[in-house]
Amino acid sequence: MAIVSPQEKKWRWRIFLIVWLTYFSYYFCRVNMSVVAAALYEDDPVGFGFTEAQMGNVFSTLTICYAIGQFVNGQLGDRFGSRNVVMVGILGSVVCNYLVGIMSQVSDDPDVVLGWITVLWGINGFFQSMGWSLMVKALAMWFPLDIRGKVMGWGGTCYQWGSAFGTAAAIFLAPTDDDTWRAAFYVPATYFLIIGIAWWFLFRNSPGSVGLPPVADHVLAEKTDAKEVQARTLKENLIATVTNKRILIVAFAFFFLDLNRYMFVNWVPSYLIARNEDNDDANLEDFKLAVKLGIHPVAGSIGAVFCGWASDRWFDGRRAPMVVIMLGINTVSSWLFSLADPTVIWLLIPIAASQEVRRGV
């Protein structure tokens, strides 16, 4: 292992902490809508009469725009640097969250309000996609391959805890029995703006930008690859991405991984109710809340840290073996969940935990 100077250690800690805090904060302006939705449904006295299907379209719009943004914004990050693109994402998401609250008051027509919310939440998804891929690039530029698994493992806990704390904050700010739900957009947006200011002043794209030598596996990359990326057009970069077999394999695996994840987190209560009509809905809601606020960050963080450490320790930095192992655990736990008694919540929780542990890869 190369000797690291005190200045390098100081900068690595600084970069890790600001990256962790910034992406943790991204979730405060993303998960709030799922909580506020409860105040907007048709059976709520302060709502607009929206149906679950209509709110589902709002969530889908964010997801689709997020996917499109991931496809584009990674290329922009290579061209303009993580610091600039992440800052644009923060500012864009902040504005969208403010506007959701503001534009929901421009008309008494629920269809007009729904239209504004849908469009703004889709745009928010695009700006939200300026976070994760650029964070991964940032950490890769600052940490060498021999410890990158451990660093990414600890770094991966940010979205676990960001989702949990973002959801908890929205629940506190948007009680469903009064008309204060807009605070769940205004307050997180203000907090996120403050974090954005900290990001701008504390983050730097690479060691070279502060006069430090690049990490060993980036010495040639910073001299040659950067020039090649600058020389290529955005279209050429996109073609190079979608024709890379390794990237396609990872994308294919991650597609089904998240398909399982969101199915599990969002639809398990409905699945359990369908299996047992006598089941207590209140218990199922408690179970769903436990998954989001407890199981997700705790088990997910354990998985992230363990997989990062294990891939460095046992597989010399190769991630594929750990991916295969954790996806195998995911398959078994999914099968066990389908067999479990839906009335035995204490049995469902550890199975759910094993579902989240595999997210560490």
pLDDT at 126: 97
The answer, yes or no, to whether residue 38 has pLDDT greater than 80, is: no
Please say whether the beta carbons of 113 and 103 come within 8 A: yes
Round to whole Å and give the CA distance between 148 and 315. Answer: 13
Q: Are residues 54 and 131 in the same domain?
A: yes
Please report whether residue 234 resides in a domain: no
pLDDT at 319: 73
Please report whether residue 235 resides in a domain: no
Least confident of 35-39, 263-267, 275-279, 299-303: 275-279
For the chain, the straight-line distance linking the first and the last C-alpha, in angstroms and rounded, comes to 24
Round to whole Å and give the CA distance between 126 and 121. Answer: 9
Q: Are residues 131 and 280 in the same domain?
A: no
- Which H/E stretch holds residue 356? helix 345-357
Domain boundary among 194, 224, 254: 224
Q: What is the pLDDT of residues 202-220, one digit of tens each?
A: 999 999 989 898 876 654 4
Q: Are residues 218 and 314 in the same domain?
A: no
Q: Are residues 71 and 17 in the same domain?
A: yes
| Residue 137, token pair as written in the block | 């690039």
Please report whether residue 5 resides in a domain: no
Highest mean pLDDT among 4-13, 118-127, 156-165: 118-127
Using pLDDT thresholds of 50, 70 and 90, give the confidence band for residue 72.
confident
User: What is the CB neighbour count within 10 angstroms for residue 198?
Assistant: 13
* Residue 10, helix vs strand vs coil: helix
Q: Are residues 49 and 185 in the same domain?
A: yes
pTM of the complete model beyond 0.85 = no
Looking up residue 84, the CATH number of its domain turns out to be 1.20.1250.20
Please report whether residue 124 resides in a domain: yes
The residue with greater pLDDT, 4 or 15, is 15
Average pLDDT over residues 270-281: 57
Q: Are residues 99 and 206 in the same domain?
A: yes
Residue 340's domain comprises 244-361
Average pLDDT over residues 133-156: 86
The answer, yes or no, to whether residue 178 has pLDDT greater than 70, is: no
DSSP one-letter string for 218-234: GHHIIIIIHHHHHHS-H
Q: Are residues 299 and 355 in the same domain?
A: yes
Round to whole Å and give the CA distance between 273 and 260. Answer: 19
The answer, yes or no, to whether residue 132 has pLDDT greater than 70, is: yes
Please report whether residue 206 resides in a domain: yes
Using pLDDT thresholds of 50, 70 and 90, give the confidence band for residue 52.
confident
The residue with greater pLDDT, 176 or 319, is 319
Q: Are residues 48 and 83 in the same domain?
A: yes
Q: Could you give the percent of the chain with pLDDT greater than 90?
A: 28
Q: Are residues 215 and 262 in the same domain?
A: no
Average pLDDT over residues 39-45: 63
Q: Are residues 178 and 266 in the same domain?
A: no
Please report whether residue 152 resides in a domain: no
Q: Are residues 77 and 203 in the same domain?
A: yes
Please report whether residue 334 resides in a domain: yes
Q: Are residues 70 and 217 in the same domain?
A: yes
Number of domains in the chain: 2
Please say whether the beta carbons of 36 and 174 come within 8 A: yes
Single-letter amino acid, residue 4: V
pLDDT at 286: 57
